Structure 1
Amino acid sequence: MSLSTTASSADGATVNDTPEEWRAQLEALPSLEELGGSVPAVFLAHGQPMLIMSPQLAAQRGGQFGALATIQGPDGLLVQFLRDLGPHLLTKYRPKALVILSAHWETAGGGVTTDYGGENPLLYDYFGFDQALYEVEFKSRGDRQVAERVVELLQAAGIKSSRLTNKLEPRGEDGRGFQGPGLDHGVFVPLIHMFKGEAPIPVVQVSIPSDLRPETQHTLGASLAPLRSEGVLVVAGGLSIHTFRDFSAFSPDTAKPQYRAWEKSIVDAVAVAEPDARHRALFDLVQHPSFRAAHPREEHFVPLYVAQGAGSEGGEAKGARMVCGLWGAKTIVFGV
């Protein structure tokens, strides 16, 4: 489905980045009935731990975060968007469960699936923050039937590494050296704002393949596509800019021109009307000259390909829409 886009910067690097614009985009998304009963898939800007700081603490540490706070601070634009997005998805698509993948959980082959039972634990997989961020709560429950269905689909697609993990099993190194079980901060940080601290539907997390290749991510996502017609919302979380080498990149006011070119390339790729051409344009993004500047390691970008695959139908690309194009934190809906 083709919808209009509102460019919010003269060079097109950001789109739909004001509350009025992204709310209009959310309202314009097709209904569940118009989509034949299939819930869309989402590449979600999951933000970072500053989203769940108290405004007072963020103000005290403001010098450490600089312009990042305007977009990804506790009162920033991304928090405002997430608070709009969650209720909208629940109301418009009435999902029975959420299957979510995060840039912060990778395993060989991917497809390891949480089966935590009554309540999902949290994995505070960040360091150097104030104690309050290690006491944050987010209430959610798992769902054995949904988790088993995920593994069934992935195994059928040849992803033999897919299996269930329980509440007692540590998730492993997952690329960052954090042990223990639980939903990582790429899951609970955005969901705290989307669902006001408690998920009204079951949440199951699935690991992404650690090879971080777009093709592998897309294959895993496409394997999950049947869930959409079964009433399950598939979300893959990351960011469009994620680098610790150049903190100026996190604000359009301070970023070098290469980052503007990169952000615009994502907007342009999503805007390609013909589905197969859009598919190719999205895959070509990892060859962009500024990709490595924005993503020294690609784990925060490749979840886009999981969502793209999940939004396909029978392996064929469907519609896509950038509902919120915040700088460095773009959210794209696939399968519309």
Structure 2
Amino acid sequence: MIHPMFLCHGAPDLVLEDNEYIRLLKEIGKSLKPKAVVLFTAHWETEVTAISAVEGTYDMIYDFYGFPAELYRIKYPAKGSPELAERIKSLLKEHEISSNLDHSRGIDHGTWSLLSLLFPEADIPVVQVSINPFRSKEEQFLIGEALKPLAEEDILILGSGSTVHNLGALNGNATEPESWAVEFDDWIIDRVERLDSEELFRYQSLAPHARHAVPREEHIMPLYTAMGSGRDRTPKLLHRSYAYGTFTYLGFEF
């Protein structure tokens, strides 16, 4: 069994850096050999859950601007798995969750930035799944629950997003994280480690600085999916660090 994970994908140029988080991701990748990866990406939003059913190699999506030119030359030739996409659709249907197959969308940086560090050989099939930031946290959690059987089949379920994600609060000169970002993550980490899903569902009204830390919920939603797909074990905090004062690099294993 491979335990589900939630990993912050950070800024697109994360893949060009060398830091403790990068080194951890590389070590995690070396320790795992999943049959496939099912990745919920914060950079793919649809009203109804969409599942990538690409046959062959994905196209690259560079969904950002203003970064170094070398970032736009990165290629990660991941291959899809229409068979696994169909299985995911079937599992969701068993739980009365609607979904659609997508046969053409490429991989966005929420996907390739993490996978190029975890599995640089691009030799593991990948299925992306969309999120809906306007869906309730409970619903996103249930989507993860529906996919629990995949972990028993050595398929890695990975939520790619962030906890603190306020682009307007980034500070390129910061050498220490902002206290409000730390306090928000303290609260999230505590509830995740205690598997307190009920409070996590209501984090917007309970967590300190929640509205400032998460002005829009697309990046935190994959956390709920990853947590829902866990096997009722004590979650493990894999890493915590910050960039630009508020950008969280956080990792959980469920």
The TM-score, its normalising length taken from structure 2, stands at 0.90
Residue of structure 2 in register with 1:101 after alignment = 40
1:283 to 181, 201, 211: 201
1:185 Cα shift? 0.3
* Cα deviations by residue, 1:226-278 (Å, 9 ceiling, x for unpaired): 111122110011112211121149957151x3222112112222332xx4xx2
2:154 to 196, 214, 231: 231
Residue of structure 1 in register with 2:217 after alignment = 298
Residue of structure 1 in register with 2:74 after alignment = 136
CA shift in 2, pair 1:236/1:254, >3 Å: closer
The one-letter code sitting in structure 1 at the alignment partner of 2:2 is: V
| SS of corresponding position for 2:41 | strand
1:86 to 29, 33, 37: 29
Contact 1:48–1:186 (Cα < 8 Å) also in 2: no
Contact 1:259–1:294 (Cα < 8 Å) also in 2: yes
Query: Is 1:186 equivalent to 2:104 in the alignment?
Result: no
CA shift in 2, pair 1:249/1:280, >3 Å: farther
Residue of structure 2 in register with 1:265 after alignment = 187
Give the unaligned 5+ runs of structure 2: 243-247
2:51 to 102, 113, 118: 113
| SS of corresponding position for 1:245 | helix
Give the unaligned 5+ runs of structure 1: 1-37, 54-73, 168-180
Query: Is 1:48 equivalent to 2:49 in the alignment?
Result: no
Contact 1:98–1:203 (Cα < 8 Å) also in 2: yes
Contact 1:119–1:142 (Cα < 8 Å) also in 2: yes
CA shift in 2, pair 1:268/1:254, >3 Å: closer
Q: What is the CA–CA distance in structure 2 between the aligned matches of 1:184 and 1:281, rounded to whole Å?
A: 31
1:284 Cα shift? 3.8
CA shift in 2, pair 1:156/1:193, >3 Å: same
1:299 Cα shift? 1.0
CA shift in 2, pair 1:152/1:106, >3 Å: same
| SS of corresponding position for 1:261 | helix
Q: What is the CA–CA distance in structure 1 between the aligned matches of 2:197 and 2:133, rounded to whole Å?
A: 22
Aligned length: 248
The one-letter code sitting in structure 1 at the alignment partner of 2:192 is: V
CA shift in 2, pair 1:253/1:210, >3 Å: closer
1:325 to 232, 240, 252: 240
The answer to which structure has the higher strand fraction is 2
The one-letter code sitting in structure 2 at the alignment partner of 1:263 is: D
CA shift in 2, pair 1:80/1:211, >3 Å: same
Aligned identity (percent) is 33
1:300 Cα shift? 1.0
Q: What is the CA–CA distance in structure 2 between the aligned matches of 1:311 and 1:50, rounded to whole Å?
A: 30
* Cα deviations by residue, 1:84-107 (Å, 9 ceiling, x for unpaired): 1211222xxxx2111111110111
CA shift in 2, pair 1:250/1:322, >3 Å: farther
Residue of structure 2 in register with 1:244 after alignment = 167
Contact 1:243–1:293 (Cα < 8 Å) also in 2: yes
